[in-house]
A and B are shown apart, each in its own frame.
Chain A
C-alpha cells in the first residue's frame, strides 16, 4: 500500500491548503449572500428550506444581517436534528467541511492524474485544476446553477444523481480528449460532455422565489469564481507537493496530445 499511502499524503496536504483558501473566500464571497437569502426566506414565510431556522440560529443571524426576521424568531422549533449555532460554530463547521472535502477532491484528482503519469509541477497542476473545475463546477452548474436558500428545486435525490452523472460524463469526456489521439474518440468525448445537458437537469415545478434575481446572479458568480480559484490552488499544490515528494518532475506533456 505504498502508493496508496503516498497518494493520501499528497492529497491531505493539498486538500488542507486548498480547503482553507476556499473557506476564506467563502467567508467573504458566498456566505454573506446565503445569510441575506435566509432573511428573505424567513420573511417570505413560505419555505422549502427547513433547517436553517433553528431558533438558536436566528438571534445572531438577525443582528448580523438585517432587522427583517424578528417575527419569525418565534417560529416553533421544528424537529430537524442538530445544527451548529450561528456565528463561530457555523463558520467552524464550514471550514471543517471545506478541508475534509478538499482532501476528498484532492484524492480523486491525484488518483486520476497518476493514471496519466502524475502532476509533475505546479503548472501542470493548474491545468489539471482547470479540468477539475470544468467537471465538478462548470458542467453541473450549467444545469443546476448554484442555489440560495429559499430557491425552488426539484427532488433532491434526482438532482444529486444528475449532478454525479454529469461530473462523471464530463470528466470522461475531458479525459478522452486529452489522452486519446483519435478523432472518433474525440467525437465520443464531445457527445459525453453534451449528453447530460440534452437529458436535462431535474427542474422544479415552479420557479417562484422570494430571492431577488440580482442576489442570485451575484451568488452564481461568487460560487463559480471561488471554485475556480479552489481548483487552481488544489492542482498547483498537488504539483508542488508531489514534486517535492518524488524529487522528479515527470513530464505530463509527453502523454498529453
Chain B
C-alpha cells in the first residue's frame, strides 16, 4: 500500500491500465446485471423490492 501510492496503480503500463479498468467496469456491469436484470425467478424474487426501488425494468 505504501509503494504505489500516487494514483491507484501508479506502476502500471498504460495498456495494462486500460485493460484493468475495463475489466473492473465490466465486473461491475456483470454484478448489476445478475442482481438487477436476471430473468431467473429466484433471483428476481429475492431482489424484487430492490428492483422496483431502483426503477429497474421489472416483470
30 contacts between A and B (CB under 8 A): A4-B24, A7-B20, A11-B24, A11-B28, A30-B52, A31-B49, A52-B48, A83-B45, A93-B46, A93-B50, A94-B47, A94-B50, A97-B51, A98-B50, A100-B35, A104-B29, A104-B35, A105-B32, A106-B28, A107-B27, A108-B32, A109-B28, A114-B7, A141-B55, A145-B55, A156-B59, A163-B57, A223-B53, A223-B54, A246-B8
Q: Is the interface of B mostly helix, strand, loop or mixed?
A: helix
Interface residues on A, range: 35 or more
With an 8 A cutoff between CB atoms, is A177 at the interface?
no
Q: A38–B53 Cα gap in the complex (Å)?
A: 14
Contacts A3-B17, A101-B31 given; does A30 touch B45 at CB 8 Å: no
A51 touches B50 (CB 8 A): no
A2 touches B32 (CB 8 A): no
B53 touches A107 (CB 8 A): no
Q: Is the interface of A mostly helix, strand, loop or mixed?
A: helix
Q: For residue A60, which residues in chain B have a CB less than 8 angstroms away from its CB?
A: none
Binding site for A on B (CB under 8 A): 1, 4-9, 11-12, 16-17, 20-25, 27-32, 35-37, 39-42, 44-59
